[in-house]
A and B are shown apart, each in its own frame.
Chain A
Amino acid sequence: MIFEDIKLLLTEKFGAEVIVGEETTGLQPALLIAPDQIAEVCLELRNNPKTYFDFLSCLTGVDYGAEANRFGVVYHLASIPYKTQLTLKISKENDRNEENLPSFPSVVPVYKTADWHEREAYDMVGIFFGGHPDLRRILLPDDWEGFPLRKDYKTAEYYKGIKID
Chain B
Amino acid sequence: MTLGEVYCYKVNEALDTYNKKIAAAAVEDMVLNMGPQHPSTHGVLRLELITDGEIVKEVIPHIGYLHRCFEKHAESLTYQQTIPFTDRMDYLASMNNSHAFVMGVERMLGIDKDIPKRIEYIRVLVCELNRIASHLIAIGTYGIDIGAFTPFLWCFRDREHIMGMLEWASGSRMLYNYIWVGGLFYDLPVGFEERCREFVDYFKPKMVELNQLLTDNQVFISRTANVGVLPLDVAINYGCSGPMLRGSGLKWDLRRIDGYSAYPELEFDIPVGKGEMGTVGDCWDRYKVRVDEIEQSLKMIEQCLDRLQNELKRTPDFDPRAKLPRKTIPKAQDYYVRCEGAKGELGFYFMADGKSEIPTRVKSRGPSFNNLSVLPELAKGVMIADLIAIVGSIDFVLGEVDR
Contact = CB atoms under 8 A, between A and B. Distances in A.
Interface of A: 23, 25-28, 30, 54-58, 60, 62-63, 65, 74, 76, 78, 80, 83, 85, 87, 97, 99-101, 103, 111-113, 115-116, 122, 124, 128, 130, 132, 134-136, 138-142, 148-149
A74 B351 CA distance: 11
Contact of A57 (B71, B333, B336): B336
Nearest to B69: A148
B113 to A, nearest CB: 13
Given A26-B335, A76-B365, A100-B7, 11 more contacts: A26-B334, A58-B336, A58-B349, A78-B338, A80-B250, A85-B336, A111-B237, A113-B237, A113-B373, A140-B67, A149-B72
Given A27-B333, A100-B3, A140-B64, A57 B365 contact: yes
Contacts, number: 117
B236 A54 contact: yes
A132 to B, nearest CB: 8
Given A58-B363, A116-B373, A140-B64, A28 B335 contact: yes
B128 to A, nearest CB: 23
A114 B338 CA distance: 17
A113 B7 contact: no
Main secondary structure of the interface of A (DSSP, over half): loop
Closest 5 CB pairs of A and B: A113-B239, A26-B333, A99-B4, A139-B64, A100-B4
Contact of B336 (A87, A111, A128): A87
Given A23-B334, A57-B336, A113 B370 contact: yes
Given A28-B334, A83-B257, A115-B373, A55 B71 contact: no
Contacts of A76: 336, 347, 349, 365
Q: Which of B11, B14, B239, B365 has its CB near the most chain A CB atoms (within 10 A)?
A: B239
B91 interface: no
Contacts of B108: 27
A124 B334 contact: no
A56 B252 CA distance: 14
A116 B237 CA distance: 13
B53 to A, nearest CB: 26
Contacts of B154: none
A139 B11 CA distance: 16
A149 B67 CA distance: 13
A104 B15 CA distance: 19
B27 interface: no
B17 interface: yes
Contact of A112 (B3, B238, B335, B361): B238
